[in-house]
Chains A and B, each alone.
Chain A
Amino acid sequence: MGGIGAALLVFVGSLIAIGVTQWARSATSEPDLTVPERVPFAGGSEPEFHAWNRFHIRYYAMALLFLAFDMEMVFMYPWAVVFVREGLLALIEMLMFILILVVGIVYAWREKSFEWA
């Protein structure tokens, strides 16, 4: 049995699986639901408005900070590769880089970005 045989087997197998699930569904399913049965449960009240609504994602500042430090970690990989060859100079450069980012953290902290608004 070659590649085509295996593909055929998968194909027939999935056809059978679809057939079985269809049969199981029809054997167990209820008739179509009425409108009140479909309405989402809100404690016995009727929804007035469509639930599709736009709201403020309040963690966006936190998400941006996460991205910034995520990228910082990416920069550390090539730095780690050359660190042994470059020695102290590389360490100082990385410390300066992190220091600049830490200033960013302090600023974000002052602006209350880490509080779940």
Chain B
Amino acid sequence: MAANFYNVKGFCKITNNAVFVNGRIQHEVPQIPFAQFAEETYKHFKISYPKFYKMDNLSKLGFLTTELLFENLQLKANHKPDRIGIIVSNKSSSLDTDIKYYNMVKKGVASPAVFVYTLPNILIGEICIRHNIKGENTFFVSEEYDIPSNVNYVNGLFESGMMDACICGWIELMNEEYESFLYLVEKEKVKNLLEHSASNIEKIYNQKPSVYAGVNARSEKTDC
């Protein structure tokens, strides 16, 4: 039987009000609060998905990171929905929204729309609904982004034949401190430049982004 290779096809990072796709900066709006930055980014990339406005900050962050990850990638065409997985982790779970919700309850108002987001895996749900993903999905909570553990786990899922593609990464947000990093891995017959290994993921996660002059350049088709 032919060997399978697990290749990283693209990655997206959003932090400090800047969006990086495959290591190149695509958009930046420094010094405004995250909520504003999120809406600005949504409009800038001409995304049309009204439900975006109902999401909490953590879900908005995850949603945007995925949208921009897929700007150049053809996910849906290649795989059946139940063969696409999504494995994400963070440090603060949904604490940012939990606290906001709790403050509302103290004032006597329990908002169902806010309560819905007091679980970190709702962000996974939103991404699955948007991109029609129905496969394996889990949300881990850990002190730091544990790349070796996560890569190992996802490769194990691939090896057991559970899926053909997977969105993986770290989506953390607490007040105005946030960082998201998502990448797409696909099972293929041919090895490409960026195999799914802990060292490769550490490399792209820690990579110093290259900054183009003309910060608002739209992304071009790139390989990794």
- Report whether chain A binds chain B: no
Write the residues of chain B forming the contact surface with A, with a CB cutoff of 8 angstroms.
none
